[in-house]
Amino acid sequence: MAKYTGPVCRLCRREGAKLYLKGDRCYSDKCSFTERGFAPGQHGAGQTRKKVSEYGIQLREKQKTRRIYGVLERQFHNYFVKADRQKGITGENLLVMLERRLDNVVFRMGLAESRNQARQLVRHGLIRVNGRRVNIPSFLVKAGDAVGVREESKQSPIIKKIAESLGSKQAPIWLEVNAEDMSGKVMRYPTREEIDIPIQEHLIVELYSR
Where residue 123 sits, what CATH number does that domain have?
3.10.290.10
Q: Which of 208, 7, 10, 197 is nearest to 96 (CA)?
A: 197
19 within some domain: yes
The pTM for the full model equals: 0.80
In three-state form (DSSP H/G/I as H, E/B as E, the rest C), the secondary structure along the chain is CCCCCCCHHHHHHHHCCCCCCCHHHHHCCCCHHHHCCCCCCHHHHHHCCCCCCHHHHHHHHHHHHHHHHCCCHHHHHHHHHHHHHCCCCHHHHHHHHHHCEHHHHHHHCCCCCCHHHHHHHHHCCCEEECCEECCCCCCECCCCCEEEECHHHCCCHHHHHHHHHHCCCCCCCCEEEECCCCEEEECCCCCHHHCCCCCCHHHHHHHHCC
Task: Answer yes or no: do 176 and 140 share one domain.
Answer: yes
Task: Answer yes or no: do 12 and 52 share one domain.
Answer: yes
Task: Answer yes or no: do 59 and 26 share one domain.
Answer: yes
- State yes or no: pLDDT of 106 exceeds 80: yes
Kindly report, residue by residue over 16-72, the tens digit of the pLDDT: 665 766 565 554 565 555 555 556 655 555 555 578 899 999 999 999 999 999 999
44: left (phi over 0), alpha (psi -120 to 50) or beta: left
pLDDT band at 169 (very low <50, low <70, confident <90, very high): confident
Tell me which residue range forms the domain holding 40. Answer: 8-98+198-208
Task: Answer yes or no: do 87 and 157 share one domain.
Answer: no
Task: Answer yes or no: do 110 and 79 share one domain.
Answer: no
Task: Answer yes or no: do 90 and 170 share one domain.
Answer: no
pLDDT band at 3 (very low <50, low <70, confident <90, very high): low
The total domain count for the chain is 2
Task: Answer yes or no: do 204 and 172 share one domain.
Answer: no
The whole-angstrom separation of Cα 138 and Cα 1 is 14
191 within some domain: no
Task: Answer yes or no: do 178 and 111 share one domain.
Answer: yes
Identify which has the larger pLDDT, 11 or 207.
207
154 within some domain: yes
pLDDT of residue 2: 47
Query: How does the average pLDDT of the chain come out, rounded?
Result: 87
